[in-house]
Amino acid sequence: MSRVAYVNGRYLPHAEAAVHVEDRGLQFADGVYEVIAIVNGRPIDLGGHMTRLARSLRELRMAMPMPARPLRIVLREVVRRNRVRNGIVYLQVSRGAYKRDHPFPPPSVLPSLVVTARSGVAPSASMVENGVGVVTVADQRWARRDIKSVSLLPNVLAKQHAKDMGAYEAWQVDRDGFVTEGTSTNAWIVTQDGTLVTRPLGHDILAGITRDAVLRLAREAGLTVEERPFTVDEARAAREAFISSTTAAALPIVRIDDAVIANGVPGSITRQVWDLYEGYMAGPGAEDWIDG
């Protein structure tokens, strides 16, 4: 089956889908995006993703490409046409196509909307069972990481460095030695007394939708949670560590740089968090495509 993409009002074969050469997403990275998990044909936390999309657009003074309900219909249709039961749907909004000039184009220029979907992006069973490694890198991104911008070059370079080093992810570190987040994930540790720790929200990290769900589920399960910065040294000495994201869920970390975490296998609290999130995706996290 050939894949199908949605581009500015048209469903097109994936190989033929394209935006204008002067689209501002291409020219300036002037756009935002969302990645939504699909489990058994249903979106996970769709409402949260739509809320975050609207916030990112507001922060960049960019218009929604269409009202929320039609947008949900487009997302559902792209998933249906690609026959995705378990995977992701990706949407990207740019400020539109206009002659290359730094100031915003006139209001008559409409935003561009691209939607794609594909199957099979979840961590392998081996990764969940055995855990993965991360490396640390200097955080070189811009100051508004709370906006889910398509400007991801520092993330790309950090992720490639992780791959070159045989690791799954890179944890980015601020000037004071504190971990901010991964290239596409939020960072967590479990202290020796069993407390879950993750960096608080602010302009320096993205408000992860999975992060929010994990916080809520952990607290409901009676786990102790702290939202505070933690250093690389604290992470290396942690009882456990994991990352969270739409595609990684709550994936165990067993190595940070050259330091083995605990005894080198996923810990009991991380496994509990994974199980809690799996149950969430099979239950209340799986939403209807059309609300109301």
CATH number at residue 90: 3.30.470.10
Residue 289 lies in a domain: no
pLDDT digits (tens, 9 = 90+) for 133-191: 999 999 999 999 999 999 999 999 999 999 999 999 999 999 999 999 999 999 999 99
Number of domains present in the structure of the chain:
2
> To which H or E segment does residue 157 belong?
helix 153-164
Assess contact for 243 and 169: CB atoms under 8 A.
yes
Per-residue confidence (pLDDT) for residue 291, from 0 to 100: 75
pLDDT at 275 over 50: yes
Last residue of a domain, one of 96, 119, 142: 119
- Regarding whether 264 and 187 lie in a shared domain, the answer is yes
- Regarding whether 165 and 103 lie in a shared domain, the answer is no
The count of other CB atoms within 10 Å of the CB of residue 264 is: 10
At 292, the pLDDT band (50, 70, 90 cuts) reads very low
**What are residue 93's DSSP bridge partners?**
32, 113
CATH of the domain at 149: 3.20.10.10
CA 113 to chain centroid? 19
- Regarding whether 153 and 112 lie in a shared domain, the answer is no
- Regarding whether 149 and 274 lie in a shared domain, the answer is yes
- Phi, psi angles (nearest 5°) of residue 290: -110, 115
pLDDT at 255 over 60: yes
**Is 203 buried (19+), middle (13-18) or exposed (0-12) by CB count in 10 A?**
exposed
At 122, the pLDDT band (50, 70, 90 cuts) reads confident
- Regarding whether 160 and 20 lie in a shared domain, the answer is no
| DSSP-based three-state secondary structure for 61 | coil
**Nearest alpha-carbon partner for 120 in 155, 146, 90, 88:** 88
- Regarding whether 144 and 45 lie in a shared domain, the answer is no
Range of the domain at 96: 4-119
pLDDT at 201 over 50: yes
Residues identified as active-site: 148
**What are residue 34's DSSP bridge partners?**
91
Residue 71 lies in a domain: yes
Per-residue confidence (pLDDT) for residue 262, from 0 to 100: 84
Q: What is the DSSP string of 131-196?
A: -EEEEEEE----S-TTS-BS--HHHHHHHHHHHHTT-SEEEEE-TTSBEEEESSSEEEEE-TTS-E
Of the chain, the percentage scoring pLDDT greater than 70 comes to 99
| DSSP-based three-state secondary structure for 275 | helix
**Nearest alpha-carbon partner for 168 in 180, 158, 176, 153:** 158
pLDDT at 237 over 80: yes
Last residue of a domain, one of 119, 137, 152: 119
Contact partners, residue 188, CB within 8 Å, separation at least 6: 196, 197, 198, 214, 241, 242, 243, 244, 250
